[in-house]
Every structure is written in structure tokens, then in C-alpha cells.
Amino acid sequence: MPIDGKLVDRLYRQASAERWRVPVHRFAEALEASAGHERAGAQSGELERYLTALHLEDLALACACAAGDESAWEHFILEQRPFLYRAADALDPGGGARDLADSLYAELFGLRDRAGERQSLFRYFHGRSSLTTWLRAVLAQRHVDRLRTNRRLEALPDEDSSDALPAPSSPIEPERYRYLELIRQTLKRAVAHLPPRDRLRLACYYAQELTLAETGRLLGEHEATSSRQLARTRRAIRDDVERQLVEYGLTDVEVAQCFASVSQDAGPLDLKQILDVGSGRKESAPDRSS
């Protein structure tokens, strides 16, 4: 969708795109690509609002880097590399993500030419976020995918190896095993019945171990609201689990034993299992805050 020339000129100035000698027509193409990606612009006012809200300076810099402008590239490296490396170290304190960060530069620079044109990863940047956030997201995506791939390829530990999970010291009593399975199944159903937003909040907090503040930021709510909503959701889940267990025909005593079967399982945590969750790990407490 073509964008009004005056608007392009205004945004071009706003982006300081002349600093990187980005041709106006190329900048206009980037704006159009962004609007097309977002499917924005059913009405001209909406399109203008969308374009004005973009991270225009970063978009101009990305245009220049994609076109191979040396000064832009140098600026980009100086500006972004410290953050990219810090992000890589945060993802993998052992340094395993730094190679991912380094490999990004080759793709960003665009070594492969197609039809005489530089194909850079920058073409996927549309200015809806800052360049820093976008780079972190690309890095996070690569990191997560590599972890998932490695997990699929990872062989089961040899029984004799030190990595093999220890066998339980004592066999689980059949009755307790039954209760454990029952409560796990009912919990699964209870969670499935929740609205997506509540499931997302649970996933952020329990699976990804985000803080309340991080969870709230992601969901666009205050951390206190996240805390309240988590408490409400937990109550709803518990009520649902209890209801299902009663409907299943369990007596009050048996329901109590179901819950007890979980608390009895409070042995030392298996770090390997916890860390195995894609990129996340950790546990939480009812009142975890930022």
C-alpha cells in the first residue's frame, strides 16, 4: 500500500534517516513493508498513527545496515553488541549462547546475495519494537530452538552413568500412586478449562518462572493485579479439582489423601528435570514479587 509522500518525508526526517544516507524510496518501502506486515492502514488516520508510533530511528538504521552502509553498520555494532552479548550470557551463563549471537552478525550483514541484492536479516525488522528488543527476541528464538533440538537428539542417560536419574528409594504404594494420578488428571482438566489469559499467567509464573512484575508487564497489568489473579486462579483450580474428585466418587477422606499424596512427594527437587524446561527453570512461592 503506497504511503502519502508528505507523510514519508515527515517520517524520514523524524527518523534522521539522512544521517545514514538512506534513500527516501527505500525508507518508504520499509514503512510499507511494516504496514503490510501489521495489516495496518485500513484508514489513512490509522495508518499514520501506526507509522508514527514505530521506532523510526531504528528502522532507518536497519535500512542502512541492510543496504551495507559501513558507518551505519559500525554504529550498529558499537551500539548493540554489548547488549547482545549480555543477553547471550543471561540465556546461557556458560557462554553457550555467544556463538548464536556471533552467528547473527553474519545473517544481519547479509552474506548471501540473491539476484544481486543483499539479503539481510534486517528485512524482518519492521520497527514495531526497538532494535535491541528485536535482537534479543531473535537470539531468544534461536536459543530456545537449539535447546529443543538438542533435547530431541539427547540420548537417554545410561543406567550406570552418573546422569541417570536415581531410582526411588522405596516403591510408591499403589493407593498413593492412584491418588497422585487422579489429582494430576483433574488438575490438567481444571487448567484446560481456564481462559487463555489465565493459562498464560500461570505459564509465565510457574513454567517460565517470571516474577510478578514481569508477568504483569507481559499481560499489561500491574504486578499486584497479577498476584491477585494468580491467587484467584489457584483457588478456582483447587475448587475444580475438588469437585472433579468428588464427582469421580471419592469420599472426603480420599480427597484429602489425594492432596496429601502430593505433599508427601516433597522430596528434594530434581534439578535436571526443572532445568529441562526449554529455556526456563525455577520454582516460585505464593507471594513472589519482583
Partner 1 sequence: MDTSRERDQSIERLLRQSLQTPRPDGVTDSCLDAETLAAWIDGGLSGAALEMAQTHVADCARCQSMVGAMARTNAVVAQPEPERGLRPWLPWLVPLTAAAAAVVLWVAVPGDLSTPQRPAEEVQTQTAKTNAQQPASLGNQPQASAARTETGAASSADKKAETQAVAPELRKEIGRLEADRLQRQDAAAAPAVALRSAPAAATPPAAVAAEASAPAAAAPPAAPTAEGARLARSANGVVGTITGANQIVSPNPSIRWRIAGSVVEHSTDGGSSWAAVPTGIAAELTAGAAPSTLVCWLVGRGGVVLLTTDGRTWRRVAFPEITDLSAVRATDTRTASVSTADGRILTTSDGGVTWERR
Residues numbered 215 to 254 that lie near partner 1 (CB under 8 A) are 218-220, 223-224, 234, 237-238, 241-242
Segment near partner 1 (CB under 8 A); pick from 10-18, 22-30, 155-163, 204-212: 204-212
Q: Using CB under 8 A, which residues numbered 60 to 119 contact partner 1? A: 78-79, 82-83, 86-87, 89-95
Query: Which residues inside 261-290 make contact with partner 1, applying CB under 8 A?
Result: 262-263, 265-266, 268-269, 271, 273-290
- Lookup: cell for 12: 524520514
Contact between 290 and 215 under an 8 Å Cβ cutoff? The reply is no
Question: Please, what's the b/e burial string for 120-158 (b: 16 or more CB within 10 A of its CB; e: otherwise)?
Answer: bbbeebbbbeebeebbbebbbebbeebbeeeeeeeeeee
Binding-site residue total for partner 1 (CB under 8 A)? 95
Contacts (Cβ under 8 Å, ≥6 apart) of 73? 64, 65, 109
For residue 81, which of 132, 41, 149 has the smallest C-alpha distance? 132
Give whichever of 174 and 196 is closer to partner 1, judged by the CB atom. Answer: 196
CB of 5 to partner 1, least distance (A): 25
Q: Where are the alpha helices (DSSP H) in 39-173?
A: 44-52, 56-66, 70-91, 98-109, 131-153
Name which position in 60, 134, 226, 245 contacts partner 1 (CB under 8 A). 134
> Which contacts of 151-157 are long-range, i.e. CB under 8 A and separated by 24 or more positions?
151/276
Nearer to partner 1, 115 or 271 (CB): 271
51 is a site residue for partner 1 (CB under 8 A) = no
Among 13, 21, 112, 151, binds partner 1 (CB under 8 A): 151
Angle at 25 (CA atoms; ends 59, 7), nearest 5 degrees: 75
32 part of the interface to partner 1, by CB under 8 A: no
Q: Which of 20-28, 106-114, 161-169, 255-263 is the region at the interface with partner 1 (rule: CB under 8 A)? A: 255-263
Smallest gap from residue 120 Cβ to partner 1 (A): 14
